[in-house]
């Protein structure tokens, strides 16, 4: 079956990619801005910068989040760029979870983190819902012993519909998950299949139904605009189905083809430059259509990627806190976090990751100590993804007037018709929000604009 899918993908790439098309076509690369400076500037020779922060006293006014990476999936999606394993048995998974807990244990003893209670906890992957009920219970009991959840405002958990039963969802709720995020991506079985997803629409409906009756604070569904074989008609149908399903929140991403995806591998082998997915203007049109449709149905657009049913009750603690400079204690293979302004990323493969822990070392692969200006820039660009931010916030926190510091990029984006300043607010309009990641690169420092290396 896997072989059949690979052949189909290969044929698709050969048939649909056009090497001479440029500009608006989707080419390989990762343009999504999730941090600053970009990961490619974090270096192994900067890892020593992490230890002094961990030995410094606990900060008084910085929130803490805990992230755990579960790198297991039933099957690798063709567009996936994460480090995932599809072949691990129960013993190997147990060994991995033990290693992640050991990592957490090392951190729990460091002066900078000792005694801190997380404001939010996030289980990402990979597929956290791939774990069994027993594994989840044991894992979270031990996590709570190390970093208690009694003051935690949000516990977010990513799930793949095909891994969920009613019983497992009950267990996920009972360990304390408040925000369940279902990776549905599309409701059409053909599109799910050609893009290599493990689940089908039947499983998505079933998981959504169980989740909504079990009383999670928030049920989110993820959709992707512009998957292979997506058409305008199907996309509209998919959005209408999502509205009928009545989730609390919907996250919509525009399909990208980063270099480490199976699709890119096929493109490289076939000598193709453009990917066999919709071009950028089409994807923007589709997301815009979706935002309008959700608004008609009573939802509110509250970032470049999300709509929420009730903005008063649907909180995004992890997002808002991270984008306002919270510390992130991140454990697990390939995961990335930061303490006191020092970014770090763990070893990307399970072997070196577990070996480092066996040898009593933290499994950090690369790091980057940010300076004042980089921290200011990071928070500013991330907050612009919300569609607005306040000048006074940066004045108070960084003693900086962002309209002066970023006068040039603000002028450029204003001239493009995407940005306005109204009183204390800097706003990005809908057209700007639909291509926010592309616009945000304007704010990057000259030394961080080498996009070839932006991985
Ligand atoms: S489910 Fe998510 S993490 Fe797993 S292979 Fe698919 S895209 Fe990657």
CATH of the domain at 401: 1.10.10.920
Mean pLDDT of the chain: 93
Q: Is the pLDDT of residue 35 over 60?
A: yes
For ligand 1, atom 7, the nearest C-alpha belongs to 80
Q: Tokens for 371?
A: 């300076």
- The answer as to whether 288 is a domain residue is yes
**pTM reported for the whole predicted model:** 0.93
Same domain, 379 and 307: no
Residue 85 in any domain: the answer is yes
Q: Residues 421, 285: one domain?
A: no
Region 138-166 average pLDDT: 98
> Distance between CA atoms of 373 and 385, rounded to whole angstroms?
19
- Of 302, 321, 340, which marks where a domain is finished? 321
Distance, CA of 127 to CA of 157 (rounded, Å): 9
**Domain presence at residue 311:** yes
Task: Tell which atom from ligand 1 comes closest to the C-alpha of 160.
Answer: 1
Distance (angstroms) between ligand 1 centre and the Cα of 369 equals: 30
Tell me how crowded residue 371 is: count the other CB atoms within 10 A of its CB: 9
Do 203 and 286 lie in one domain? The reply is yes
Domain boundary residue, one of 261, 291, 321: 321
Mutate to test the pocket of ligand 1, among 9, 69, 74, 77 (most ligand atoms within 8 A of CB): 77
Whether 337 lines ligand 1, by a CB cut-off of 6 Å, is: no
Q: Which residue has the higher pLDDT, 56 or 451?
A: 56
pLDDT score at 19: 42
Same domain? For 316 and 382 the reply is no
Residue 349 lies in a domain: no
Is residue 443 assigned to a domain? yes
Instruction: Please indicate, yes or no, whether residues 69 and 205 belong to a single structural domain of this protein.
Output: yes
Domain boundary among 321, 352, 387: 321
pLDDT, residue 23, reads 65
* Residue 171 and residue 295 in one domain: yes
Same domain? 389 vs 455: yes
Domain-located, residue 338: no
Say whether both 146 and 255 belong to one domain: yes
3-state percent breakdown (helix, strand, coil) of the chain, nearest 5: 45, 20, 35
Instruction: Establish if 150 belongs to a structural domain.
Output: yes
Pocket test for ligand 1, best of 9, 72, 79, 80 (most atoms within 8 A of CB): 80
CA–centroid distance, 288 to ligand 1, in Å, is 25
Q: 82: domain CATH number?
A: 3.80.30.20
Q: What is the mean pLDDT of residues 245-264?
A: 92
111 shares a domain with 203: yes
Domain that holds residue 435: 372-455
What the block records as the tokens of 83 is: 């480090």
Look up residue 394 and give its two tokens. 């940066």
Q: Among 104-108, 139-143, 218-222, 449-453, whose mean pLDDT is lowest?
A: 449-453
Can you state the angle between helices 166-174 and 133-146, rounded to 10 degrees?
10
Write the residue with the smallest CA distance to atom 5 of ligand 1.
76
pLDDT of residue 5: 47
263 and 376 housed in the same domain: no
Question: How much distance in Å is there from the Cα of 279 to the middle of ligand 1?
Answer: 22
With contact defined as beta carbons under 8 Å apart, do 18 and 277 qualify? Answer: no
Examine the domain organization and report whether 282 and 384 are in the same domain: no
Residues 90 and 178 in one domain: yes
Say how many domains are in the chain.
2
The atom of ligand 1 lying closest to the CA of 86 is 5
Report the separation in Å between the CA atom of 429 and the middle of ligand 1, taken as the mean of its atom positions: 31
Tokens of 215: 């009383």
Mean pLDDT to the nearest integer, 155-181: 98
- Whether residue 9 has pLDDT greater than 80: no
Mean pLDDT of 10-24: 58
- Residue 87, domain member (yes or no): yes
State whether the beta carbon of 125 lies less than 6 angstroms from ligand 1.
yes
Burial of 385 (0-12, 13-18, 19+ CB in 10 A): buried
């Amino acid at each position: 079956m896997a072989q059949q899918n690979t052949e189909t993908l290969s044929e698709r790439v050969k048939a649909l990619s056009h090497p001479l098309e440029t500009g608006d076509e989707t080419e390989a690369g990762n343009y999504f801005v999730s941090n600053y400076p970009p990961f490619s500037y974090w270096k192994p020779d900067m890892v020593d910068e992490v230890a002094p922060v961990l030995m410094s006293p606990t900060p008084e006014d910085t929130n803490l989040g805990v992230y755990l990476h579960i790198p297991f999936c039933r099957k690798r999606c063709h567009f996936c760029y994460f480090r995932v394993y599809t072949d691990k048995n129960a013993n190997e998974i147990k060994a991995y979870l033990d290693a992640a807990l050991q990592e957490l244990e090392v951190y729990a003893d460091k002066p900078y983190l000792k005694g801190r209670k997380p404001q939010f906890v996030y289980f990402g992957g990979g597929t956290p819902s791939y774990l069994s009920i027993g594994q989840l219970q044991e894992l979270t009991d031990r996590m709570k012993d190390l970093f208690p959840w009694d003051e935690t405002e949000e516990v977010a958990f990513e799930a793949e519909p095909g891994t969920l039963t009613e019983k497992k969802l009950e267990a996920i709720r009972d360990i304390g998950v408040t925000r369940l995020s279902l990776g549905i991506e599309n409701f059409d079985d053909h599109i799910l299949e050609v893009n290599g997803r493990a689940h089908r629409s039947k499983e998505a409906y079933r998981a959504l139904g169980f989740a909504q009756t079990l009383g999670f604070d928030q049920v989110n569904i993820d959709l992707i605009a512009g998957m292979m074989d997506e058409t305008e008609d199907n996309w509209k149908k998919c959005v209408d189905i999502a509205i009928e399903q009545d989730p609390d929140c919907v996250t919509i991403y525009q399909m990208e083809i980063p270099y480490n995806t199976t699709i890119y591998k096929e493109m490289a082998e076939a000598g193709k430059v453009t990917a066999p997915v919709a071009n950028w203007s089409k994807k923007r049109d589709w997301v815009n259509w979706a935002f309008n449709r959700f608004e008609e149905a009573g939802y509110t657009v509250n970032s470049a990627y999300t709509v929420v049913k009730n903005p008063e009750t649907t909180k995004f603690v992890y997002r808002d806190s991270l984008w306002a400079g919270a510390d992130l204690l991140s454990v697990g293979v390939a995961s990335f976090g930061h303490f006191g302004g020092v970014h770090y990323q763990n070893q990307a493969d399970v072997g070196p990751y577990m070996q480092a822990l066996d040898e009593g070392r933290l499994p950090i692969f690369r790091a980057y100590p940010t300076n004042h200006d980089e921290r200011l820039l990071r928070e500013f660009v991330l907050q612009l993804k919300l569609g607005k931010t306040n000048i006074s916030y940066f004045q108070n926190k960084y003693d900086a007037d962002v309209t002066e510091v970023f006068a040039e990029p603000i002028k450029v984006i204003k001239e493009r018709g995407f940005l306005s300043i109204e009183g204390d607010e800097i706003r990005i309009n809908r057209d700007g929000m639909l291509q926010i990641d592309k616009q945000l690169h304007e704010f990057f420092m000259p030394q961080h604009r080498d996009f070839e290396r932006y991985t």
